[in-house]
């Protein structure tokens, strides 16, 4: 079984400050990892994903994440946030084993609030 | 390009009434389809997924059911709603031909309030 833990339910920051949203996962097999963003009353949009290769993954809107296998982490970072980055962020994992259904398991989300 | 549509966007229903939420995908064939529910502070809970017409897998036993009458149509239903069914329901799809990316594409969601 796989699971995802997002360590912070809420992260308030000031505009132009750096931010890190933490994500740890648990799985007995190799995984793919994702970060999604959700703006109020909307669906989820993919920010970035790690499938293989370089452990530093760059996504949309200036976000990046680093896969750390030894620490089973996939933290999301942005060097300078904008007001428009205010949203809820979800980390998700899917394992490479099993059938082709590839169900994503999501964390509970981190609400990022960027203040002026 | 592929698109996904959900409706209705918002719904207010009394306890005990039926429910039907619909999701359709355009621009692809034989997608894998998913229904998730999002409740405050609980993240996303997978309710049902389908790998083909008439094939439904349930993840959580509950008051809801799902059907896939056509390749690109996925319906979430209930005969009698409970208060606990309130939430934000998200439909998602992934390309069934891709065996290993796992990426899901989400609809805009349907907010259900049961009173």
- Between CA B103 and CA A11 the distance in angstroms is 26
- For A101, the closest of B51, B106, B107 (CB atoms) is B51
- Between CA B21 and CA B36 the distance in angstroms is 12
Model pLDDT, residue B100: 54
- Which among A58, A36, A51 is positioned nearest to A102, based on CA atoms? A51
> Is A23 at the interface with chain B, CB within 8 A?
no
Strand B87-94 relative to strand A87-95: parallel, antiparallel, unpaired? unpaired
Task: Name chain A contacts of B51, Cβ cutoff 8 Å.
Answer: 100-101
Residue with tokens 């933290």: A75
3-state secondary structure of A30: coil
To the nearest whole Å, the CA of B34 is away from the closest chain A CA by 9
Residue with tokens 């606990």: B84
Strand B44-52 relative to strand B32-38: parallel, antiparallel, unpaired? antiparallel
| Residue A50 to residues A15, A92, A93, B107, Cα–Cα distance (Å) | 27, 11, 10, 22
**CA-based end-to-end distance of chain A:** 41
List the pLDDT tens digit at each of the 115 positions of chain B: 889 999 999 999 999 999 999 999 999 888 999 999 998 777 888 999 998 999 999 888 678 999 999 999 999 999 999 999 999 999 999 887 765 567 889 999 999 999 9
Model pLDDT, residue A97: 64
3-state secondary structure of A97: coil
Model pLDDT, residue B4: 95
Task: Name chain A contacts of B34, Cβ cutoff 8 Å.
Answer: 103
Model pLDDT, residue A98: 55
Model pLDDT, residue B18: 97
Residue B43 to residue A109, Cβ atoms within 8 A: yes
Task: Name chain B contacts of A101, Cβ cutoff 8 Å.
Answer: 32, 49, 51, 57
Model pLDDT, residue A99: 56
To the nearest whole Å, the CA of B33 is away from the closest chain A CA by 9
Q: Is-contact A22 A12, C-beta < 8 A?
A: no
Determine phi and psi for A84, rounding to 5 degrees.
-70, -10
Q: What is the pLDDT of residues B96-105, one digit of tens each?
A: 776 556 788 9
- Give the residue ranges of chain A where pLDDT is below 70: 96-102
């Amino acid at each position: 079984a796989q699971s995802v833990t997002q360590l912070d339910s809420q992260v308030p920051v000031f505009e132009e400050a750096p931010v890190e949203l933490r994500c740890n996962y648990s799985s007995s097999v190799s995984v793919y990892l994702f970060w999604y963003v959700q703006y109020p009353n909307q669906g989820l949009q993919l920010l970035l994903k790690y499938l293989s290769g370089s452990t530093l993954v760059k996504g949309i809107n200036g976000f990046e994440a680093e896969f750390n296998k030894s620490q089973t982490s996939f933290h999301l970072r942005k060097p300078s946030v904008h007001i428009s980055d205010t949203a809820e962020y979800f980390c998700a994992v899917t394992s490479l084993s099993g059938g082709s259904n590839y169900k994503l398991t999501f964390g509970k989300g981190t609400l990022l609030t960027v203040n002026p | 390009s592929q698109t996904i549509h959900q409706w209705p966007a918002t719904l207010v229903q009394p306890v005990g009434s039926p429910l039907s939420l619909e999701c359709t995908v355009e621009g692809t064939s034989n997608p894998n389809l998913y229904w998730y529910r999002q409740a405050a502070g609980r993240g996303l809970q997978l309710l049902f997924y389908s790998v083909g017409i008439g094939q439904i897998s349930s993840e959580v036993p509950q008051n809801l059911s799902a059907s896939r009458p056509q390749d690109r149509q996925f319906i979430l239903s209930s005969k009698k709603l409970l208060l606990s069914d309130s939430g934000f329901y998200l439909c998602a799809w992934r390309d069934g031909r891709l065996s290993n990316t796992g990426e899901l594409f989400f609809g805009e969601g349907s907010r259900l309030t049961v009173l």
